[in-house]
Amino acid sequence: MADQTLDATDHEILALLREDARRTLSDIATRVTLSTAAVKRRIDRLQELGVILGYTVQLDHAKLGWPVEAFIELRFLGTSNVDEIVQTTTRMPEAQAVFTIAGDPDALVWMRVRDMAHLQRTIDEIRRSHRVTSTKTLIALDSWQRGVK
C-alpha cells in the first residue's frame, strides 16, 4: 500500500496510538480535532488497509527476569535457505526477532536472556545447529525504540 492513501491526520492518529494504544477515541478526537465517530472510521480504515496490524503490550523485561539484550550475527553454510536460517532460532523462547540479511552475516537475531550464563547456553544451542558456521554476539548496554517509553 502506498503512503499516498494516508493523510496528515491519519499519521497523527497513528503517532498517538504508537504512543499509547489504549488511548480513548475521544482523546484522539480531541487531539486531531475530529469527532469520535470520524476517528473510529479512520482507525477502522487503517486496520482494513493493513496499516494497523494489531495492538500489543509493552513489557518491562528486567522485572520479568530477562534484562539482558543481545544481538547475535549468524553465518550459515552456503546451501542454507532463508526458511532454515529463520527456523534455527524462532523455536527458542529467548529469540525476540530474526532478521535475514543480504550480505554478511546471513542473519541477525535479537535475544533476551536472564544473565550471561543463560546467554552462553543460548549461543551454544545455536552453534549446535549443523548449518551455523559462525556467530558474533553484541550485548546491548541500553536501548531506545520509537514509540516505546
Q: What's the mean pLDDT in 12-40? A: 96
Q: What's the mean pLDDT in 13-28? A: 95
Pairing of strands 107-113, 132-139: unpaired
Tens of pLDDT along 99-149? Answer: 999 989 999 999 999 999 999 999 999 999 888 999 999 999 998 887 676
Residue 72 burial (C-beta neighbours within 10 Å; 0-12, 13-18, 19+): buried
β-bridge mates for residue 112, sequence order = 69
Share above pLDDT 70 across residues of the chain, in percent, rounded to a whole number? 96
Whether residue 25 has pLDDT greater than 60: yes
Tens of pLDDT along 1-10? Answer: 455 689 999 9
Q: What's the mean pLDDT in 39-59? A: 95
- Report the mean per-residue pLDDT for the chain: 93
pLDDT at 4: 64
Spatial CA neighbour of 25 closest among 9, 8, 6, 42: 42
pLDDT at 3: 57
Q: Domains of the chain (ranges plus CATH)?
A: 8-49 (1.10.10.10), 61-140 (3.30.70.920)
Answering whether pTM is above 0.85, one says: no
Tens of pLDDT along 83-93? Answer: 888 888 999 99
Q: What's the mean pLDDT in 38-57? A: 96
